[in-house]
Amino acid sequence: MKVIELKNIVKTYPGVEALKGISFAVEKGSIHGFLGPNGAGKTTSMSIIAGLSSPTSGQVFINGKELGREKSPIGFLPETPPLYEQMKVFDYLKFVAEINNVARSELSCRVLEIGKKCGLTKVMQRLIGNLSKGYRQRVGIAQALVFDPEIVILDEPTVGLDPNSIMEIRELITSLKKDHTIMFSTHQLHEANLICSHITIINHGIILQSGPIGEIGKSLKNRQVIRAVVRDWQIIEPAMVLSEIKDLFPCDNVEIKKLDGQTELKFIAETDDDLRPSVSAYLLQKNCGLLSFTEEGMDLEEIFKRVAGQ
């Protein structure tokens, strides 16, 4: 089921066409990564979906209804969270809940509940301005959740954070999936690869690909990576392996890595042929003690390079 759908969205500013007729959809219950370099059109698109900006032309549908002046069931975290630094965390979240029509009888319980979910219990009585950037980001996510929206949009939720904070925010986003549809933007491919089920790739205001990560990878698949772990491997140089197999099957590159008394080999080829039988026969012929043998799909970085032509 599509909870967000954009159809031919154009957004122009004086002298600039930021979005050039983009169309894509976000499925209910997904964690949907919105990927692209800085200036690709991510923030403009998300602001339009959240109802904070109007498209020059085109339509946005939320749960099948065209987005208009009425309030949409969306929680939104801009890249710079809209925080009142002179307020305490509890008071700020209560204020956000009130203006989003949470029943007065439920306010305190709702704020405490969302504070716990976002890891804010210990700082609820502290001034927002005195918090670390990681905690302020958590407060920003909490304000997007405190009125229990069906859809949550997060614009660059991990930008500028230290590695520990990034990991904590990533875990938080993953935990939200069971209750919300999550859409978040990033230019960090590694982030999206870890937690997203679906992605949309945008560049220069144009959608390059959109859909489940696995399906996008399959649609582009002419690159195979066969990964094998063996117990005993005497040949160390990849060039020697390539020389040995050149008449057996096509292979563009071999990567060899030593691992705690074992050896990992990656056979990489640009081909539509299934190389698994040929690779496994070669390894068995070498009598090297084959321990594991798998085919790896393209990771998100490889997908982005291919669809963006980078």
Q: pLDDT tens digits for 196-220?
A: 999 999 999 999 999 998 888 777 7
Q: What span, in angstroms and rounded, lies between the C-alpha atoms of 75 and 182?
A: 10
In this predicted structure, the answer to whether residue 30 has a pLDDT above a threshold of 90 is: yes
* CATH architecture designation of domain 1-73+150-217: 3-Layer(aba) Sandwich (3.40)
Q: Is the pTM of this model over 0.85?
A: no
Domain ranges of the chain: 1-73+150-217, 80-145, 220-298
Q: What span, in angstroms and rounded, lies between the C-alpha atoms of 295 and 274?
A: 10
Are 94 and 111 spatial neighbours (Cβ–Cβ below 8 Å)?
yes
Q: How many residues are given for the chain? A: 310
In this predicted structure, the answer to whether residue 221 has a pLDDT above a threshold of 70 is: no
Q: pLDDT tens digits for 135-158?
A: 999 999 999 999 999 999 999 988
Q: What span, in angstroms and rounded, lies between the C-alpha atoms of 80 and 274?
A: 47
| Amino acid type, 24 | F
Band of residue 69 on the pLDDT scale cut at 50, 70, 90: low
In this predicted structure, the answer to whether residue 270 has a pLDDT above a threshold of 90 is: no
Lookup: tokens for 128 = 């927002």
In this predicted structure, the answer to whether residue 2 has a pLDDT above a threshold of 60 is: yes
CATH no. of 220-298: 3.30.70.260
- Residues whose CB falls within 8 Å of the CB of residue 37, separated by 6 or more in sequence, listed in order: 187, 203
Q: What span, in angstroms and rounded, lies between the C-alpha atoms of 239 and 228?
A: 17
Strand partners, 296: 225
